[in-house]
Amino acid sequence: MIMDKIIMKEMSFYGYHGVLQQERDLGQTFVVDVELGLDLRVAGESDDPEMTVSYADVYEVVRRVVTGRPCNLIEAVAERIADRLLDGFLLREVLVRVKKPGAPVPGHFGYMGVEIKRSRETMEEN
């Protein structure tokens, strides 16, 4: 089975997710990567934009989740993104990475984050 990907990296949004009240009050930047698994052969052969997924539409879904209703955990943010992408587009699977560069943890680091991979099959099982 062919599994092509559309990859969108380093989408940056300001949101109010976190366990700490300070995170909920002040907010912070979240950086999201998505990999959309689907067959791109028809789109590639036909050069028809209708045969693929609109990057702008995917970006808007991610933006709405990250800037929308706060979650305690970035795990929940990632699940919301994955659910909405699988619901809204003809994808076989999606990989979502949510990064928190300003996580309130002492020490020096690039970011802390989560990565989940969900498929249409796992979505239908739940």
- Spatial separation of the C-alpha atoms in residues 113 and 99, rounded to whole Å: 4
Q: Catalytic annotation on 100? A: yes
Pick the catalytic residue from 5, 9, 99, 100. 100
* C-beta atoms surrounding 35 within 10 Å: 17
- Token pair belonging to 81: 């993104």
Helices of type H across the chain:
21-26, 41-46, 55-67, 74-88, 120-125
Enzyme catalytic residues: 100
